[in-house]
Structure 1
Amino acid sequence: MPDLPGMPKISVGAATRPARLAEIWMAAVVAIAITFLLGQATAKAQAPDFSGKTVTIVVGFGPGGGYDTWARTVADHLGSHLPGEPTVIVENMPGGGGNRASVFLASVAPKDGTVISVFPQPFPLEGLIGRLGDNVAPEDFGYIGRLTTHTATLLMWNTSPVKTLADAMSREAPIATPGIDVTNIVARIVNERMGTQFKIIQGYEGSSEMAFALEREEVEGMSQSLESLVAKHPDWLPEGKVNVIWQVATTRNDLLPDVPAVTELPIDGDDAALLRLLASLGDTGRPLGMPPGVAPEVLQVFRDAFDAMVQDPDFIADAVKRGLQLDTEPGAAVAASVAAAMNTPEPTVDALKALLVAAP
């Protein structure tokens, strides 16, 4: 057939174009499917697996105290919720009011998920004032989840003449603390601003050692969280063996309705802001965490395991049996709380540093 004017030429091969396009689309679909399957296989191969491994929970205080009890309770249950069901053990590393263990995690511990810790409640404060060293930043750690809140208190033994803050204004009262913990800081503030005479004796390895010193009347008072008090010494409050002088909280706990919260004390200015900061840290509580630099997928595996563990009836029953009060929070929320604490305004940080400038 002759070509018509103005009409394009038609190639004989044009008739095969639809078939060719179908072949191209089919090849693309196959390539996408292969890529997806390879990606899935790679992801599965790289998923954290702790089969045959041992996970160590490092505790910055001595055996028998509140942090130690929490760690051993977690050790009995966390492994069954981790891939490969590893063995989980506890290692005590007391020193520096819990800081020795935190520094170990940041500087020495492997970053593969085989070493974790229960962090001390004042951990963010220690970072704010530079007591952890230049290379340890609390906001850089991986937080797995909060086990419980932490309401710090000052307990005075029943034989001490000091029953209230007013009593401590007229006589010296020796109190035991593990280091620069929250109760230690509050004691320094009330000594300076209210004229109390608490003599702070620090360096105890944990609450068990302090309780022993208290019962032997080597000291008149001690730093103790309300949660640990209920768990470790359930008879102390009901039987009147101790008097609680203050609670580091924004509101009064139901168990201590007649004990003032530190935010109620007649203190103003930067010290009042510092007391509010200390009270807010109670919500950070006792978090379980990992060293900085652990791979995100490993942290997520531990967060998922933690979330499953705290819903496990066996874990809950074990915690209740040991007198522990569960008040859990996901790891992401703990990380946000720590980050907020690390963004404390400079004047409040300066007030804290000035308060502790003479502290050992």
Structure 2
Amino acid sequence: MTISNFTRRAVVGLIAAAGLAAPVAAEVDFSGKTIEWVIPFSETGGSAKWANFFAPLLSEALPGQPTVVVKFMPGAGSTKGANWFQEQEHDDGTLLFGTSGSTQFPYLLSDPRVRYEYNDWIPVMASGTGGVAYLNAEDGAKFDGSANALKDTSFIYGSQGATRLDLVPLLAWQMLGMDVEPVFGIKGRGDGRLMFERGEANIDYQTSSGFLGGSAPLVEAGQAVPMMTWGALDADGNIVRDPTFPDIPTFKEVCEATDGCETSGEAWDAWKAFFVAGFPVQKLAFLPGDTPQDVVDTYTAAFQAVTERADFADISSKRVGKYPVFVGDGSKAALQTATSVDDNAKQYVLNWLKDSYGVELN
């Protein structure tokens, strides 16, 4: 299967699934209960902002209006928390787990540290996001829509790890011919932003919620200059400008303007495949795999009600960006897109990880 056919089928399938109605929830009452929504990252990143945005809305929509508390379990780039969730069993519907592309990528790459299986979990909501790469003010002044003037600069980047979602920016910068040295080991993208703010890093990237909530003020203050987004996908699988950041060029545009960067071939196909797996369906909410159907239906109906709020489009665009949200059968289709990648792309990335960072996963 070619990458273009994969992305086209995936996007069309998701668009169709997004229109499916949620099931009617059975009589489940969460009155007086507390729901723990566990995020396997630190409290400073985009996943934290995503969960903290949805948590009060979910509380209002669930029967009995339980308290929804977001808790954090950082470690091993989210693998620690995902391995923990794999061992959890249904109790009373009061445990929810959130993942991101940094959880998906180790799974896709068969990382030996992964002891979790996405197909054992029950997705109840999925949402897309974007990403913005940005430079410090000094280097940003050199940026002219291409990376040509940036190739002689040594960049430092705070990274969760090359096998996490960070492989999308790291591979992109390498394709542009930039010298970017990652400092591995941070527990969340918000910690990477803090390194940038302290001057310990001079390049950074954040998912849309993290950028809107933490990096946009740096841009407004003149401390950061947006370089590019990863873009979004249209219904034909083509990369177009991110609807949340329509004034910022995509990586594809910057690549086309940069000497030596190609938007075709093995590197491009691999980058696009992992972009598709990591961003159009970037964050997912799960219940344990043995959760009864009536509880699953109740959560599905509640998330459906959240997306149908009259003010949802406005408030979500400001907090998490302008991206689709999938529930019910839509979230199941989204999970398949997020956990599928072409074998050729996977092998290219495995070779790249070994050659560039000495990381061997097979």
Specify the TM-score bucket, using the shorter chain as the normaliser.
0.7 to 0.9
**Map of 2:343 onto structure 1:** 346
**CA distance in structure 2 between the partners assigned to 1:132 and 1:151 by the alignment:** 28
**Map of 1:261 onto structure 2:** 251
**CA distance in structure 2 between the partners assigned to 1:88 and 1:76 by the alignment:** 7
1:359 Cα offset (Å):
3.4
> CA distance change for structure 1 residues 203 and 53 in 2, over 3 Å: closer, same or farther?
same
Cα-to-partner distance string for 1:114-151 (whole Å, 9 max, x where unaligned):
2112311343322111237564223442222234x221
**Map of 1:220 onto structure 2:** 202
Question: Following superposition of structure 1 onto structure 2, how do residues 67-78 of structure 1 map, counting pairs within 5 Å?
Answer: 67-78=47-58
**Map of 1:104 onto structure 2:** 84
**Map of 1:293 onto structure 2:** 290
1:288 Cα offset (Å):
2.1
Cα-to-partner distance string for 1:184-241 (whole Å, 9 max, x where unaligned):
34414542x4532110112222233222211110111122123421233333344543
1:305 Cα offset (Å):
0.7
C-alpha contact (below 8 Å) 2:160/2:166 kept by paired residues: no
Cα-to-partner distance string for 1:289-337 (whole Å, 9 max, x where unaligned):
22333333322211111111233357667657x7443532224223213
C-alpha contact (below 8 Å) 1:177/1:184 kept by paired residues: no
Q: Which amino acid aligns with 1:289?
A: F
Query: Is 74-83 or 307-316 further displaced after alignment?
Result: 307-316
**CA distance in structure 2 between the partners assigned to 1:278 and 1:291 by the alignment:** 26
**CA distance in structure 1 between the partners assigned to 2:113 and 2:335 by the alignment:** 17
Q: Say if 2:301 is the partner of 1:304.
A: yes
**CA distance in structure 2 between the partners assigned to 1:76 and 1:224 by the alignment:** 23
**CA distance in structure 1 between the partners assigned to 2:314 and 2:342 by the alignment:** 42
1:256 Cα offset (Å):
4.7
Could you say which structure has the greater relative contact order, defined with CA pairs below 8 angstroms and 6 or more residues apart? 2
- SS of 2:275's equivalent? helix
Cα-to-partner distance string for 1:20-46 (whole Å, 9 max, x where unaligned):
xxxxxxxxxxxxxxxxxxxxxxxxxx8
**Map of 1:150 onto structure 2:** 129
**CA distance in structure 2 between the partners assigned to 1:84 and 1:302 by the alignment:** 12
C-alpha contact (below 8 Å) 2:99/2:284 kept by paired residues: yes
**CA distance in structure 1 between the partners assigned to 2:136 and 2:59 by the alignment:** 40
> CA distance change for structure 1 residues 116 and 258 in 2, over 3 Å: closer, same or farther?
closer
Question: Which structure has the larger Rg over C-alpha atoms?
Answer: 1
Q: Say if 2:269 is the partner of 1:273.
A: yes
Cα-to-partner distance string for 1:64-97 (whole Å, 9 max, x where unaligned):
4322122223222312322333221111111222
> CA distance change for structure 1 residues 270 and 107 in 2, over 3 Å: closer, same or farther?
farther
> CA distance change for structure 1 residues 332 and 122 in 2, over 3 Å: closer, same or farther?
farther
**CA distance in structure 1 between the partners assigned to 2:122 and 2:194 by the alignment:** 34
C-alpha contact (below 8 Å) 1:146/1:284 kept by paired residues: yes
Q: Which amino acid aligns with 2:66?
A: P
C-alpha contact (below 8 Å) 1:105/1:115 kept by paired residues: no
1:343 Cα offset (Å):
3.5
- SS of 2:86's equivalent? helix
> CA distance change for structure 1 residues 293 and 352 in 2, over 3 Å: closer, same or farther?
farther
- SS of 2:36's equivalent? strand
Q: Say if 2:240 is the partner of 1:251.
A: yes
- SS of 1:233's equivalent? helix
**Map of 2:29 onto structure 1:** 49
1:285 Cα offset (Å):
2.7
**Identity between Structure 1 and Structure 2 (%):** 17
C-alpha contact (below 8 Å) 1:177/1:223 kept by paired residues: no
**CA distance in structure 2 between the partners assigned to 1:303 and 1:347 by the alignment:** 35
Q: Which amino acid aligns with 1:208?
A: G
**CA distance in structure 2 between the partners assigned to 1:111 and 1:133 by the alignment:** 27
- SS of 1:170's equivalent? coil
**CA distance in structure 2 between the partners assigned to 1:221 and 1:117 by the alignment:** 30
**CA distance in structure 1 between the partners assigned to 2:201 and 2:37 by the alignment:** 31
- SS of 2:308's equivalent? coil
Q: Which amino acid aligns with 1:80?
A: E
Q: Which runs of 5+ in 1 are unaligned?
A: 1-45
- SS of 2:80's equivalent? helix
**Map of 2:165 onto structure 1:** 182
**CA distance in structure 2 between the partners assigned to 1:188 and 1:64 by the alignment:** 24
Instruction: State TM-score, norm by structure 2.
Output: 0.75
Match of 1:201 among 183, 203, 211: 183
**CA distance in structure 1 between the partners assigned to 2:149 and 2:246 by the alignment:** 19
- SS of 1:77's equivalent? helix
**CA distance in structure 1 between the partners assigned to 2:209 and 2:72 by the alignment:** 20
C-alpha contact (below 8 Å) 1:153/1:246 kept by paired residues: yes
**CA distance in structure 2 between the partners assigned to 1:90 and 1:341 by the alignment:** 23
